[in-house]
Each structure stands twice: as C-alpha cells, then as structure tokens.
Chain A
Amino acid sequence: MDDIDRSIINALQEGFPICERPYAAAAERLDIDEAELLRRIGALREQNTISRFGPLFHAERLGGALTLAAMRIPPQEMDRIAALVNGHPEVAHNYERDHVFNMWFVLATESEAELLAAIKAIEMETGYPVYNMPKLEEYYLNLRFAV
C-alpha cells in the first residue's frame, strides 16, 4: 500500500459519486486517471485491504428485523451450545467473548415475530436464557479509519 492507495482509501470512505463515469470523477479529485483508480481498487479488494466498496446499507431499513443477543454459557458447554445456536439460519454471526456473558450473536429475520420465535426456540433447545439486546438508539456508526 503506497501513498496513492492511502489517499484512495481515505477519500472513498467519505463517499462516491453517482453519475455516468463516477470512477473518472473520483479519480480526477485524486489526481490519477480512471483506469488507475479502477486497477487500484481492484488490487486493494484482492489483498483484502478493503472489506467493502459499494453502497452501505442501513440493515434495519431494509424491512427485516435484526437484533444482538447474548447468552451465559458455562465454558465446558460452549461448543455444544454454539453448535445448537449456529444451527439456526437466523444466526448471522456469533462471537465468543471474555465475560460471563460469553456468547454474542446477531439474529436477522424477516419480521419481529420470527425474531422472537427464533429466540424462544434457542432457549428451548439449549435450556439457557437468551438476552435480547436490540438497538434502542443509534448514536453513531462510523466505519471510517484514517490510514
């Protein structure tokens, strides 16, 4: 990653134009040409230096239901319970964390009712309570990092 890559990452985190030739427009501001910008974004994507380039969606506004849920699982039970929880297709990602509340997963469904049904099903199957922690308010979401 060189200085031009860094300036691309910093500039494009702020946004990208919607017009006929957006790469040409963005490239002009970076003092490079369209072909070079396309080539460099492709390379950054290949190298996994960027995790996404494109529209960033507001998940809650796509019409489905989404929540963060937590569980307290005895460490010796973790693998067994994780397999049960992960078996639900509504579980998008699941992390083990170093706290008594040691299992944290995101549930995504089409409706609020399905969300609550999935939580109930997980509680029944595992025998442990699921703490539903939906976002009540968003104060900030920023995935920008100066490089």
Chain B
Amino acid sequence: MSSATIVPLPDATDRALIVATQAGLPLTPRPYHALAEQIGISAEEVMERLIRMQECGIIRRIGLVPNHYALGYTSNGMTVWDVPDDRIHILGPQLGALSFVSHCYRRPRYLPDWPYNLFAMVHGRSREETDAKVEEIARLLGKDDRGHAVLYSTRILKKTGLRLGTRGD
C-alpha cells in the first residue's frame, strides 16, 4: 500500500509526463523530444525526470511487456498458499525466483474462511502445464505448504485499466 513505502510522490510535471506516456513511448526517432514538445518542457528535463522516477521506483523500468496470451500462455492461475508467517519472508522470494511466477505478494488472511497469505501468479501454455508448476511449488514449500488453492479466471467481469496519472494533485 502507499503508506508502506516512503518515496517522493510525482509532482504535477511528472504527472503530465505519466499521462503523456499512458499509451506508451512515441514511436519516433526522438521519443523524449516528442514528449517534451507535448508537455512543454525541454527534452533534457523529460530525460532527467524519467531517470529520477526510475531511480526512486515510481517507474519500474522503461521497456516492453509482451502479451502473454498472444505468446501462448493462456492458462494463468492465481495460486494462493497458507505458509507460516515467520517463514514467509524466505518463502516469498523463493517462489518469486521461479521462472513461471510473474507476481508474488503477501496479502492478509481472513480466518477461518481465507487462510492463504501468499499469492503467486503462475503462467502455463495449458492447464496441465500450469497444474504441474503448482505441484513444483508445493514440492518446493514442503511442510511449509499448509494448504493451497489455484483460482483460474472463468470470466472477465470488467476491464477498464487503472487510469494511472489521471488523478488530480
């Protein structure tokens, strides 16, 4: 959550830059110059701001995200695990290090209904492949796996995106 990490918040110019790159980096030889023109600052300032936002983690990186569905990874399971709280700081990074895990987070339990505290998204090219990877995680966790479940999405009920950067100051 936002309160958990203390990093400087983006200012109004950063936000303008975030909004200008919502659809992606311009596909033109000097993309940072194009952004500069769009928001009315110099290209040097655009680059400095991007570097600074990258250093403080507002930008994870500038790069490409493949569409994993288009690449054949169509079986995506949200795996949830009940692991001991005093071991999760060791187990979380171990799951995250697996090549087929894309996101790995700790989230709260709601006992007794929801005992799971560790979430890992697992991607495979078929249900069988994904199920086999889930078994691999179970073996890795051993006795620390006190219970787990795999939740496959059966329907998209809404998809609008996060409207990043459109929030006011």
The reply on A38 being an interface residue by CB < 8 A is: yes
The reply on A29 being an interface residue by CB < 8 A is: no
Roughly how many angstroms separate A143 CA and B76 CA in the complex, as a whole number?
13
Which range holds the interface residue count of chain A? 35 or more
Roughly how many angstroms separate A105 CA and B165 CA in the complex, as a whole number?
20
Roughly how many angstroms separate A45 CA and B26 CA in the complex, as a whole number?
12
Roughly how many angstroms separate A65 CA and B2 CA in the complex, as a whole number?
6
Closest to B50 in A: A18
- Are B92 and A98 in contact (CB-based, < 8 A)? no
The reply on A119 being an interface residue by CB < 8 A is: no
Chain A residue numbers with a CB within 8 Å of B66 are 9, 13, 49-51, 143, 145, 147
List the count of A-B residue pairs having beta carbons below 8 Å apart.
252
Chain B residue numbers with a CB within 8 Å of A135 are 1, 105-107
Shortest distance in angstroms between A142's beta carbon and chain B's nearest beta carbon? 5
Residues facing A in B18-74 (CB within 8 A) are 18, 21, 23-25, 27-33, 43, 47, 50-51, 53-54, 56-68, 70-71, 73
- Are A142 and B96 in contact (CB-based, < 8 A)? yes
Roughly how many angstroms separate A47 CA and B50 CA in the complex, as a whole number?
28
- Are A56 and B63 in contact (CB-based, < 8 A)? yes
Chain B residue numbers with a CB within 8 Å of A96 are 153-157
Closest to A131 in B: B110
Q: Which of B71, B95, B161, B163 has the most CB of A within 10 A?
A: B71
Given A14-B63, A93-B160, A142-B96, verify A137-B106 contact (CB < 8 Å). Answer: yes
The reply on B143 being an interface residue by CB < 8 A is: no
Roughly how many angstroms separate A70 CA and B152 CA in the complex, as a whole number?
14
The reply on A20 being an interface residue by CB < 8 A is: yes
- Are A61 and B5 in contact (CB-based, < 8 A)? yes
Roughly how many angstroms separate A47 CA and B153 CA in the complex, as a whole number?
24
Given A49-B70, A135-B107, A137-B106, verify A38-B160 contact (CB < 8 Å). Answer: no
Roughly how many angstroms separate A104 CA and B154 CA in the complex, as a whole number?
11
- Are A142 and B101 in contact (CB-based, < 8 A)? yes
Option from A21, A63, A82, A108 in Cβ contact (under 8 Å) with B163 = A108
Given known contacts A45-B27, A56-B65, A65-B1, what 6 new A-B pairs fall within 8 Å (CB)?
A: A49-B67, A53-B24, A96-B155, A101-B113, A105-B157, A140-B93
Q: Identify the B interface with A (CB < 8 A).
A: 1-5, 7, 9-10, 18, 21, 23-25, 27-33, 43, 47, 50-51, 53-54, 56-68, 70-71, 73, 78, 88-89, 92-93, 95-97, 99, 101-108, 110, 113-114, 123, 149, 151-165, 167-168
